[in-house]
Chains A and B, each alone.
Chain A
């Protein structure tokens, strides 16, 4: 801008959004000022040039693709917790616990053996090996209790539910705040 007019006024004039008084003043000035007239013509020409950049029409498959993505979004009212990291972590922890319980219940290898035999590949334990005493009711109950405690872990399993219902909680809080006000 050559300093004769405020940028805002010039832009509003170009957009045909000037108030009548401002328009009249600018037009009176344009009638006398070659520089401002030239600038105005250039900016109008620029508008036409910019119109040449037209995007291609949106493809006919747009809605179908969007629908497919929406279907992925809402397969169940609770969403897809199986895809959530907290759920996956919880599942992994339960699986690890189950493996640990199985290992704990299986017979321990005989570590007293030394020499070449100890290096041999691991084979299923022969029937002759003294069977380990079956887990008592008390130990089984302990394992079950641990598994149940894990299922109840609020960080591992309830986190995704908290995330999912985040907006619901917010709505409740807002309602409460509204009441308190």
Chain B
């Protein structure tokens, strides 16, 4: 039977550093994907995800198995992501990624023989950008609530714990967020709102 997160953390606390590998293998993708959806840049999201695991490692001695491990982990990830957004790392990374996008756009144009595929790819990208922008425009707490509810599929109690609010407040927050998204993404829903 697989070890629980708490058992792995207690092993790490006791000095068994390989326990961290198991935690990284288990949560690398959820943490990196959450951060990608926060900062919208792959390389930066991965760097920040590494920072999250470094913080877990640094805090191993003071770890207490009182709260759920994922609550603690995602709280760290949220703080790391928000700090990156606030200190402007995201802006710098986006400038770099825009340059890369321009370059890849040129390469895409060069492959004009498969025009239909390229057009589909561009349309899909445009839709993804619209979704990203719509979520980005939500107030911070609503945005985080959607990321945890829709994309991490955490339960209400855990999201409420991470965002430090009541379950009832969280549900209200989520409902308002989805209502805003429904209006903002009207064209993608078939135009009926």
A binding-site residues for B, Cβ under 8 Å: 1, 7-8, 10-12, 17, 38, 42-43, 45-47, 49-50, 52-56, 58-59, 62-63, 65-66, 69-70, 73, 167-168, 170-171
Given contacts A46-B185, A55-B36, A167-B62, contact A11 B175 (CB under 8 A): yes
Minimum CB–CB distance from A69 to chain B (whole Å) comes to: 6
B42 is contacted by which of A43, A50, A55 (Cβ under 8 Å)?
Answer: A55
Residue of B with least CB distance to A65: B50
Compute how far the CA of A63 lies from the CA of B175 in the bound complex, rounded to whole angstroms: 37
User: Cβ of B185 and Cβ of A7 under 8 Å apart?
Assistant: no
Q: What 7 additional pairs, Cβ within 8 angstroms, besides A56-B36, A167-B62?
A: A7-B176, A42-B189, A42-B193, A53-B128, A55-B42, A66-B24, A168-B61
Q: Mark B154-176, 1 if CB is under 8 A from A, else 0.
A: 00100000000000100110111
Please list 22 pairs of residues, one from A and one from B, whose beta carbons are closer than 8 Å in the complex, sorted by A's number.
Answer: A1-B175, A7-B172, A8-B168, A8-B175, A45-B190, A46-B178, A46-B181, A49-B185, A50-B135, A50-B181, A52-B131, A53-B128, A55-B42, A55-B45, A56-B36, A58-B32, A59-B42, A65-B50, A69-B50, A70-B20, A73-B58, A167-B62
List residues of chain A with CB within 8 A of the CB of B42.
55-56, 59
B150 is contacted by which of A8, A47, A171 (Cβ under 8 Å)?
Answer: A47
Residue of A with least CB distance to B149: A15
Compute how far the CA of A96 lies from the CA of B181 in the bound complex, rounded to whole angstroms: 62
List residues of chain A with CB within 8 A of the CB of B32.
55, 58, 62
**Is B68's CB within 8 Å of the partner chain A?**
no
